Structure 1
């Protein structure tokens, strides 16, 4: 696992050294810090949902009895795949790049296997209120790259962007909820103007997507002092507030690199502005444990790189782990459809955090 984390860090570093396609700007492109005028600007009003885009609505809650939980084989102490994507490009130039077809095929597989997307914030707060018998998956996209979100002349998501692909899969598989988390840097989705950035952020937020903090300039955080880390986080928080989103509830660490003092990325302040996250995400190599489990650590949540089974990925990336979960269904998080109860087989009762045991429904 350690070797894979090293590979992810190296691959991500290479990714940031590669030029972006003509006409786009990567997350480290120059941009002025949001000042008083930007923060006071009125964001573009959120559009009304288009009738031909599937909604992100959750189903009506139910009350899960032990017998019902048994019938749907509920296990809300199980593992949840948190899948990490970076650029989506027609020709891959780094190992962590994916093509539109690769992303589309992976998401269609998730839909066929009964997975329902939730955001990182929903996962971190335990509000994975998906239908009974289904499995949550967290789709996460780092760096706010132009390939993640763009609108065409008709105001619809561009086909081969992350958002475009998610909606295509949701149309084909109605149970596939169209939501994801986008962790952005100082120039969300390569957009130059604050007006365009606000339009993008509000478009996504109004449709159930999460846009949250990935630091201002994507630095290697272990190399920064506490003040420098706080500045990196606060600048993004101020920007997102100016764009009509935030405060961020979740953070993805650049390169998956945790500072020596972990508390510096959990809560703090800089220049009079504070930040506090409910979960900090790594660039790890395995599914996350359930947020209800006693060994869940919100300060270092594992993720899986989207990739095949070659090289280091032969045992650590998304294809391997999705196959593994299919072969071990008892290890996978399966929902009970009841937001107020945590349904699990009786033998797993001891796996639940003590503060959640009052919600436990065993069978």
Structure 2
């Protein structure tokens, strides 16, 4: 039977598609790899109004999404770790999250909508330039280098997850196997330095470019000559730059090592994708039956 929701009846379909939406910079106006703050807030409102609730990458991979009946999962992803995503302000001797940064706006939205939880995936670079090293350093956009680890730790404490995005947004397709493995191993190692023991399960490919040896995007190793040890990495998921909504993890064709995403920036429209997902067809949306122990088929 159809489940009545505020936006109309939806028939459970847990083989349907799941949008993995992708933001980069959240700034004043839309542009290449940029959305305005007003638009970011509007996209959160639209996802909520249309019956989507955030899930984490681990829940998608482990098939443990606990989504209310009639609702649909969405995975929120953020690439490049810019200060616009997470900015600290100093107020009376303490650090507070800038409410105009993406993290600040998202946490405010979650606080105002109890059916949403603080879930999402932040794809990090620890050694990028222009303030993209763990959300800002060297005074760029008012952010101090000493705050970087605090930000990464804060995200995990809130319930968000972390993702590898190489050391400095390297175009993996142009490098040797050795450089690729150093980029990915050191990226994961930096996250471990901030959050010891953290399991990095995902890699977001910079520019969507695969290394020549595609297997190295999933696993590999690098020898750390300084500490005389071998650092290994293994990604359970590889996120593409685009490609539309992803298949359900219950779909036999689900491939976690090539997860398509819905990029949001100047010139793109979230509504177009969500409208198509509301129609019958190959992109029909995942709709939960409310029972995590069953898989509702259309």
Same fold (TM over 0.5): yes
1:270 counterpart (203, 222, 227):
222
Give 5+ residue unaligned stretches, structure 2.
127-132, 139-143, 224-229
Deviation at 1:195, TM superposition (A): 4.4
Query: 1:85 maps to what in 2?
Result: 23
User: How far 1:338 sits from its partner (Å)?
Assistant: 2.6
Match of 2:181 in 1: 230
Report if aligned partners of 1:306, 1:319 keep a CA contact under 8 Å in 2. Answer: no
Within-5 A mapping of 1:107-186: 107-152=44-89, 153=91, 155-186=95-126
Instruction: Tell me the TM-score normalised to structure 2 length.
Output: 0.84
The equivalent of 1:190 in structure 2 is: 136
Aligned counterpart, 1:39: none
Task: Determine the C-alpha separation between the residues in 2 that align with 1:211 and 1:127.
Answer: 18
Instruction: Please say if residues 278 and 284 of structure 2, whose CA atoms lie closer than 8 Å, have aligned partners that are also in contact.
Output: no
The question of whether the paired residues in 2 share the 8 Å contact of 1:269 and 1:275 is answered with yes
TM-score (norm 1): 0.70
Partner-residue secondary structure (3-state), 2:35: coil
**Cα shift at 1:68:** 9.6
Instruction: Indicate conservation of the 8 Å contact 1:307/1:318, yes or no.
Output: no
Number of equivalenced pairs: 272
Describe the SS at the equivalent of 2:27: coil
Distance 2:279 2:117 in 1: 24
Structure 2 equivalent of residue 301 of structure 1: 259
**Root-mean-square deviation over aligned CA pairs:** 2.3
8 Å contact kept, 1:266–1:299: yes
Does the residue aligned with 2:260 lie in a helix, a strand or coil?
Answer: coil
Distance 2:270 2:221 in 1: 35
| Offset at residue 342 of structure 1 (A) | 1.8
Aligned counterpart, 1:291:
249
- Residue of structure 1 in register with 2:226 after alignment: none
**Could you tell me how far apart the structure 1 residues matched to 2:96 and 2:66 are?**
27
> Per-residue CA shift, 1:117-151, capped at 9, x if unaligned?
11223222222212222111111010111111123
Bigger share in helix: 1
Query: Which runs of no fewer than 5 residues in structure 1 stay unpaired?
Result: 1-66, 346-363
Once the two structures are superposed, the pairs formed by residues 17-56 of structure 1 within 5 Å of their partners are none
Does the CA-based 8 Å contact 2:82-2:134 persist in structure 1?
yes
2:286 to 320, 328, 333: 333
Q: Find the counterpart in structure 2 of residue 99 from structure 1.
A: 36
Structure 2 Cα separation of the partners of residues 119 and 191 of structure 1 = 27
How far 1:69 moved relative to its partner? 8.6
Kindly indicate which of the two structures has a greater share of residues assigned to strand. 2
Q: Does 1:211 align with 2:151?
A: no
1:247 aligns with 2:199: yes
Instruction: Trace 1:49-68 onto structure 2 (pairs within 5 A).
Output: none
Which whole-Å CA distance do the structure 1 matches of 2:280 and 2:105 have between them? 28
Residue 210 of structure 2 corresponds to residue 258 of structure 1:
yes
CA distance in 1, matches of 2:279, 2:41: 22
C-alpha displacement at 1:328, in angstroms?
4.2
